[in-house]
Amino acid sequence: MNDVIVFGVGHSGTSLLTKMIHALGWSPNDADATFAESVRMREINRQLLAGAPLQAQMAASLEFVRSLSRPFAVKDPRLVETLWHWTEVFAALQLAPMLIMVERNYEAIAQSYTDRNELVRGKP
């Protein structure tokens, strides 16, 4: 079984898909119960997006990926902006996880944000 990265914007169905993949036998590792997001990957991605030094984030990312039980399935909606970093990490470790990209109609995503009252300045 190949390692898996689930990739897609928030409210696109990535949590549901990732939970299904975990149920089929892929290791969830440190995935949270609500969103099936890797807690450590989420933290590294937050730091990357905040402008943390890349060298330190690369070291943390390499350590994180080495610690994963395999085959793994990880996801974090921030991958939409940080996949370039993780591509470098996996290449450095000579790993080639399968990338599963989830797409959803823009209007359906906006409606999901609205339904959950997750609005910014009144907009989803």
CA 94 to chain centre: 19
**What would the mean pLDDT of 24-46 be, rounded to a whole number?**
97
pLDDT of residue 110: 65
Would the pLDDT of 120 be above 90?
no
Q: What is the CA radius of gyration of the chain?
A: 15
Confidence of residue 41 (pLDDT cuts 50, 70, 90): very high
Please provide residue 120's backbone torsions phi and psi, each rounded to the nearest 5 degrees.
Answer: -125, 120
**pLDDT per position as a tens digit, 54-111:** 999 999 999 999 999 999 999 999 999 999 999 999 999 999 999 999 886 777 666 7
Would the pLDDT of 35 be above 90?
yes
Greater confidence (100 vs 114) lies with: 100
Ordered alpha helix ranges (H), the chain: 14-23, 39-49, 54-67, 79-92, 106-115
**pLDDT per position as a tens digit, 2-22:** 999 999 877 778 999 999 999
pLDDT of residue 117: 79
Q: Give yes or no for a contact between 93 and 3, defined as CB atoms under 8 angstroms apart.
A: no
